[in-house]
Structure 1
């Protein structure tokens, strides 16, 4: 089923206005009225698409993570489901291309849950991919997964909040080397 272009256009205008406001204000200070005004739509149109600003936020985060997973899947994993350098590079390039969204989410004082969701997203991926043999043999998998997820989220957060001080491809190479050292891939 295809969605009417007017509906898509309204949703895009709402999201664009929301992202712009997130770059200017704390989430708690953003209202449906401000979003609608910035999107040049009436509040009724907003409510046709979203219950409130919290649902809009959740949908935006879900869409970003779903698209990130899709991009990584296009680059593939090896047959054992371990990440490839290309999937890591696609991830860093995606983050670079969506810098405004991620910087707004990580900079905004009203958004502590975003970092938590990003951490949960990373934990799930690492749990499925960590190699528990070799140097990781005998380690507690939960501790290792939490350590790696926290480290990767911390690096991404540092990179975004410091205005990407290294290019996406360099960040990908550094992350790849760290993953190799910790046997996250083969």
Structure 2
């Protein structure tokens, strides 16, 4: 992609995220996005069909990057190690403006739904159903744990990260170990 086109696209996305952190999604207009990005309305429409498409593409991009951040060590699964979980929370902190905006905005409920769906897919591969989990209903366990993790992410981001990433991950990892959510060691 041409550098000027890429720069315009990035400016539009950055302007949109800034506006999203300042006001509700429903209040944001294409004119405001264009003005903040210092581009024309037409340029915004060259990149995105409308503000809903822009939101959708931002959500997709950030969720993909969040999931990729947990897979950087080459192991599959949503949180294959404590280090991967720490890396994911560092990514969340680095992009807290976006995550805080979409989690706090009541007019963007699909973000939490999509976050939880991504967690469900990853956790499904991680939960050990032997030992204390043997005979338990995996679907109920998955729903509970994905909701808990999504809630922790939402609380941590919208509360302006009241604990360091390291402290939060230490506590989360202990909880995940207690619930046999950590990866099963291969023997």
TM-score using structure 2 length = 0.94
Confirm or deny: 8 A CA contact 1:76 1:84 kept in the other structure.
no
Alignment of 1:147 onto 2:144: yes
In angstroms, what is the RMSD of aligned CA positions?
A: 1.5
Which residue does the alignment assign to 1:49?
47
2:107 partner SS: coil
Aligned partners of 1:81 and 1:148: how far apart in 2? Answer: 12
Confirm or deny: 8 A CA contact 1:32 1:46 kept in the other structure.
yes
What does 1:147-186 correspond to in 2, within 5 Å? 147-185=144-182, 186=184
Aligned partners of 1:77 and 1:150: how far apart in 2? Answer: 23
Q: Structure 1 residues 4, 184: CA separation in 2 closer, same or farther (over 3 Å shift)?
A: same
Gaps of 5+ in 1: none
Q: Structure 1 residues 59, 81: CA separation in 2 closer, same or farther (over 3 Å shift)?
A: closer
Aligned partners of 2:79 and 2:45: how far apart in 1? Answer: 42
TM-score using structure 1 length = 0.94
Runs of 4+ with >2 A deviation = 75-78
Gaps of 5+ in 2: none
CA deviation profile, 1:115-166 (whole Å, cap 9, x unmatched): 1111111111111211111111111010000000011111111111111000
